[in-house]
Amino acid sequence: MTRIERQWRLYKDAAAQAGHALPAERPIALECHVAPTREQAFDIARPFLGPKYAAYADWGQDKVLPGAESFRIGFEKLAHERFLLGTAEDVIEQIEARAKRLESNYVILRVSWPGMEHAKVMQVIERLGAGVLPYFHR
């Protein structure tokens, strides 16, 4: 999350220097998969997010990131602090951590990826509705 925290600080500093208040809504968009276990979430997401980020690397999108960061790394390392993958409890914890560190109050979750079966998309939507969203609606 260090990369996004750096970008957030740059944005806040630029807004302050220009005399602008922070917007009322501060969204973050994240890839997300909720499964009964963390391992299952990674196993389901890997065949979809791995190729998606390999395509991004082919397009050179990782070349504009700070330092020598690359999307051409193992999936577990790529997923670390980049995707929300795990049980409902894992995802709640990850959302809370990001929202706090990035001062975000609006989360956009991408739960469907190219080639993903409709049934898998519906399962994650149901798991979000049953195990994640009620936590944040309290």
Q: Could you tell me the CA-to-CA distances from 117 to 44, 93, 111, 113 in Å, in that order?
A: 11, 27, 11, 9
- Full-model pTM: 0.87
> What are the structure tokens assigned to 15, written together?
């807004």
Q: Using CA of residue 61, residue 63, residue 66, residue 68, what is the dihedral sign? A: positive
pLDDT tens digits along 53-69 = 888 888 988 888 777 77
Q: What is the pairing mode between strands 27-34 and 106-110?
A: parallel
Where the chain has pLDDT below 50, the residues are: none
Model pLDDT, residue 127: 97
Question: What radius of gyration do the chain's Cα atoms show?
Answer: 16
d(CA 95, CA 107): 8
Model pLDDT, residue 1: 57
Q: How many CB atoms lie within 10 A of CB 56?
A: 13
